[in-house]
Each structure stands twice: as structure tokens, then as C-alpha cells.
Copies of this chain bind each other. A is one copy, B any other.
Amino acid sequence: MSTAPEGYDPHAFVPFAVTVDLAVFTVREGRLHVLLVERGEAPYEGHWALPGGFVLPRESAEEAARRELAEETGLTRRSSRAFHLEQLRTYSDPDRDPRMRVVSVAYAALVPDLPEPRGGGDAARARWWETGRTGPLAFDHDRILSDAHDRIGARLEYTCLATAFCPAEFTLGDLQQVYETVWGVELDRPNFRRKVLTTPGFVQAAEGPPRRTGGRGKPAALYRAGAATALHPPLLRPEGRREGRTP
């Protein structure tokens, strides 16, 4: 027999819990970091996990993710609106949570370098972890984090969202470091510069004088994110390690 299409047969109704999980990425000091929270109870007590929570009765998964993002980053809902948030995929293995049937919609968020998350809340302990240096995470969060990293790396090739990792004003060096950090490769600086500047709408020159980095070397010009969202032609990463899985 076939199940009724799109939820018609009330007898077939099965209750699930629906949650969102967030992979919040940032680039700090040339290394990719992700926001994790420490679990305070079983299962996986003491393990670290992606922040997340239940979808409330009258909100969409996107709204739930936006709400969690604001809570975890300690920023107001308004300012967290500016962060790039994108749905990744949904994880629904029946045994992914030992307590009950939980279907989780995963999101990736890209934020500029923020201060440490507020520590004193009622939420569990939260901090930034360098990707690749996290221990085994709770539930299937290692898988989610890996998928999220892959996705972000691929998105950098075809979209302009690398600027989402940068503050309002940034140098081309900052932007290049985003690519190098997420991809784990080194790029040629003049070539990267040419590609970015010849792509209309990727960045726009910021008014005002160049900033002084405090370091040595010629000071770099400042730019702001442009209006473009797509990158044509794409900015393909160098040969070698691609995302292996192309499901």
C-alpha cells in the first residue's frame, strides 16, 4: 500500500521533534573557527555540540535558526539579521538521538570575527573552536560540521559570500585570507586581486584613506562588499582536493 500523498491520512501521523542545528563559522587569525556549546547532561554529557534548539510551534526553521544565532552570538536579533544564514540540509536518521525521534534542519552561518560568546547566560558554556581541532562532537554533529565546511568551501567558488566573514570594511588581503583559510590553500596575491577587482559588484572601494595595519608594509586600500551575489565566471580553487562526495 502507498502512504497518502503529502499528509492526508491522519492515521499515518507520527510525531517528530524538529530542531535546528547551527554551524556558525568565523575566521580568526587565519584559522577557521566554529561555535560550539558544551553539553551539561546526558547523552553526550561533557561533549561539545553545535548550538541549536527546537523549532517553536509558530515559527519556521529559518526563524528558529535566526533566533538561536542571535542567542548564541549574544547579539541582538536585529544585528544578527545581517549575518549570512543558509540552510544546509536535514538530518533524519532514526537513531541520531537516542532519546527520541528528532529531525534536525542544519544551517550554516557566516559571521565576522566576533568577541567570545557571552559566558554568563543560562545556556551551556560556549566558545569558538578551531575546525579540525574539535574532539568528537555529540550526536551526528561531526558529520554536520563536515558537510557544512564542504558546502561553504563550494559556495566560495560560485558566490560572493566570502565578504560575509569580513567586517564592514576590509582589505583584499583580508578577503584572500578568507579563501585561503576555508580552502586550506595558498593563493597568488596579484591574481586573486585581479579576479576580485574585475568581477563587477564583488567589492567596492571604500572612501577615505587606507588603514594602517600597525604592521609593516604598504598600507592596503579598504573595500566594502558589493551588490553582486553570484560569481561569473567562478573563482575555482586550485587543483587537488575537491569535495569528494557529490551526492
Contacts and interface: CB of A to CB of B under 8 A. Distances in A.
A189 interface: no
Interface residues of A, number: 70
B87 A105 contact: no
Total copies of this chain within the assembly: 2
Contacts of A123: 2, 4-5
A72 B4 CA distance: 11
A62 B92 contact: yes
A182 interface: no
Interface in A1-18: 1-9, 12-18
A93 interface: yes
Given A6-B53, A12-B53, A234-B236, 19 more contacts: A2-B68, A2-B71, A2-B123, A4-B53, A5-B53, A7-B100, A8-B41, A13-B17, A16-B16, A16-B18, A18-B18, A18-B92, A55-B92, A55-B103, A59-B94, A62-B92, A87-B89, A87-B90, A89-B90
